[in-house]
């Protein structure tokens, strides 16, 4: 792997002055060695299907995500990004290698995880509020406190007026925003997000990017986010992992040193443009029209 930067632990003040609380799940005390929040070593995944036979989706993936870090992953369609996220969530089994979340198998960490899938997967017979409250029921949270928090989250994503609506009454982007409130309800310390803003219009997407940065800065969550958008990855991340086409490998890690908090003006800065250009270059996207050749 051609890692541009090592996986340096994110300094708390790198968030732009917020005081992170991300040590809260590591109750062992300051002297104890803290394992990376996510540690993946030599991971490969082979799917077996009747029609295609065996498909090597991920090949020899290794990386770590440190406590409180914001890591984005970009890669071409079909390179195994969703597969990787499902393995981290303990939903899909890997074939080779090791995966640990806070030093344990992912299935042991599920109540600390908030998951946003590529498709919203809301329950059609439950309202927006009831979908948001799903983790409260599963994890046995105090119903009154959970409902107050659900309303706060729905307000945050602009869905408060739709609390009593059913998923089929919402646009795709609204459904995805509801899946984000559901993922945040139990205040998980690790967020795994698969293309969370892919279905949103450009303006809502900008707003959600700023909101997610605020949540991360204020809460100290560790965030692992998949996106197709290179500018979005550079805007949000401390570190961007770039994947190759299938079978997915990590071809480069890019540390993003832009100061926090970032705002939409950050996207006009030369360092931002340079990082985006560099990643586009890895995918062979030069930004110029190719000459027509007959
Ligand atoms: N359950 C499955 N059975 C067989 N093959 C699968 C299965 N799930 C995914 N694949 C294959 O694994 C590869 C990686 O799929 P995955 O959904 O992880 O890609 P992705 O990077 O998330 O793509 P996209 O950006 O389009 O969402 C693809 O070739 C896909 O066809
Ligand atoms: Mg995917």
Name the nearest CA neighbour of 156 among 219, 110, 73. Answer: 219
Strands 70-74 and 222-226: parallel
Alpha helices in the chain, H assignment, sequence order: 81-88, 128-132, 134-139, 143-156, 172-184, 202-219, 230-236, 270-282
User: Is the CB of residue 49 below 6 angstroms from any atom belonging to ligand 1?
Assistant: yes
Residue 247, preceding peptide bond in cis (omega within 30° of 0): yes
Residue 124 phi, psi dihedral angles, 5° rounding? -65, -20
Predicted local distance difference test score (pLDDT) of residue 287: 59
**DSSP 3-state helix, strand, coil percentages of the chain (rounded to 5)?**
35, 20, 45
> CATH second-level architecture of 37-282?
3-Layer(aba) Sandwich (3.40)
Do residues 115 and 89 touch, judged by C-beta distance below 8 A? yes
Structure tokens at 49: 């299907």
Ligand 2 centre to CA of 80 (Å) is 7
User: Is the CB of residue 14 below 6 angstroms from any atom belonging to ligand 1?
Assistant: no
Residue 113 phi, psi dihedral angles, 5° rounding? -100, 140
Q: How far apart are CA 120 and CA 176, in angstroms?
A: 5
User: Is the CB of residue 81 below 6 angstroms from any atom belonging to ligand 1?
Assistant: yes
> Hey, which of 43, 44, 45, 47 would you mutate to test ligand 1's pocket, going by the most ligand atoms within 8 Å of its Cβ?
47
Give the up-direction half-sphere exposure of residue 45: CA atoms within 13 A in the CB hemisphere.
Answer: 24
Total count of residues recorded for the chain: 294
Structure tokens at 186: 């139990």
Do residues 102 and 25 touch, judged by C-beta distance below 8 A? yes
Residue nearest to atom 1 of ligand 1 (CA): 47
Q: What is the number of other CB atoms lying within 10 angstroms of the CB of residue 29?
A: 8
Do residues 266 and 258 touch, judged by C-beta distance below 8 A? yes
Domain ranges of the chain: 37-282
Predicted local distance difference test score (pLDDT) of residue 26: 44
Q: How far apart are CA 109 and CA 146, in angstroms?
A: 21
Q: What is the number of other CB atoms lying within 10 angstroms of the CB of residue 48?
A: 9
Give the DSSP H/E element, type plus range, for residue 41. strand 38-49
Q: How far apart are CA 102 and CA 128, in angstroms?
A: 32
Specify the residue for token string 């065996």. Answer: 54
User: Is the CB of residue 86 below 6 angstroms from any atom belonging to ligand 1?
Assistant: no
Residue nearest to atom 18 of ligand 1 (CA): 80
User: Is the CB of residue 48 below 6 angstroms from any atom belonging to ligand 1?
Assistant: no
Predicted local distance difference test score (pLDDT) of residue 35: 86
For 58-86, the DSSP string reads EEEEEEEE-TT-EEEEE--TTSSHHHHHH
Q: How far apart are CA 272 and CA 278, in angstroms?
A: 10
Residues flanking ion ligand 2, Cβ below 5 Å: 82, 118
Name the nearest CA neighbour of 257 among 276, 242, 272. Answer: 272
Ligand 2 centre to CA of 82 (Å) is 4
Task: Kindly give the confidence (pLDDT) of every residue in the chain, 294 residues in length, as a single tens digit, with 9 standing for 90 and above.
Answer: 443 443 333 444 566 644 344 444 444 444 567 789 999 999 999 999 888 789 999 999 999 999 999 999 999 999 999 999 999 999 999 999 999 999 999 988 878 899 999 888 999 999 999 999 999 999 999 999 999 999 999 998 899 999 999 999 999 889 989 999 999 999 999 999 999 998 888 988 998 899 899 989 988 899 999 999 999 999 999 999 999 999 999 999 999 999 999 999 999 999 999 999 999 999 887 656 655 655
User: Is the CB of residue 47 below 6 angstroms from any atom belonging to ligand 1?
Assistant: yes
């Amino acid at each position: 792997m051609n890692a541009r930067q090592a996986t340096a632990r994110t300094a708390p003040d790198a968030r732009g002055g917020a005081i992170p609380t991300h040590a809260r799940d590591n109750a062992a005390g300051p002297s104890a060695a803290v394992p990376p929040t996510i540690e993946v070593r030599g991971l490969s995944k082979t799917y077996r299907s009747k029609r295609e036979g065996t498909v090597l989706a991920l090949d020899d993936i290794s990386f770590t995500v440190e406590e409180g870090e914001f890591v984005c992953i970009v890669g071409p369609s079909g390179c195994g990004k969703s597969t990787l996220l499902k393995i981290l969530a303990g939903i899909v089994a890997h074939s080779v290698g090791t995966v640990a979340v806070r030093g344990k198998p992912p299935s042991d960490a599920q109540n600390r995880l908030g998951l946003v899938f590529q498709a919203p997967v809301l329950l059609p017979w439950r309202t927006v509020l009831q979908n948001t409250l799903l983790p409260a029921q599963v994890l046995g949270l105090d119903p009154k406190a959970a409902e107050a928090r659900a309303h706060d989250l729905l307000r945050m994503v602009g869905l408060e007026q739709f609390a009593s609506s059913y998923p089929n009454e919402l646009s795709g982007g609204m459904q995805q925003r509801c899946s984000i409130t559901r993922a945040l309800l139990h205040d998980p310390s690790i967020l795994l997000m698969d293309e969370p803003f892919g279905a949103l219009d450009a303006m809502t997407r900008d707003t959600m990017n700023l909101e997610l940065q605020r949540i991360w800065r204020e809460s100290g969550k560790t965030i692992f986010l998949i996106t197709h958008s290179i500018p979005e990855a550079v805007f949000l991340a401390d570190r961007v992992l770039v994947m190759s086409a299938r079978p997915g490998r990590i071809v480069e890690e890019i540390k993003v040193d832009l100061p926090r908090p970032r705002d939409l003006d950050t996207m006009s800065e030369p360092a931002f443009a340079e990082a985006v250009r560099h990643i586009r270059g890895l995918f062979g996207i030069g930004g110029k029209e190719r000459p027509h050749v007959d």
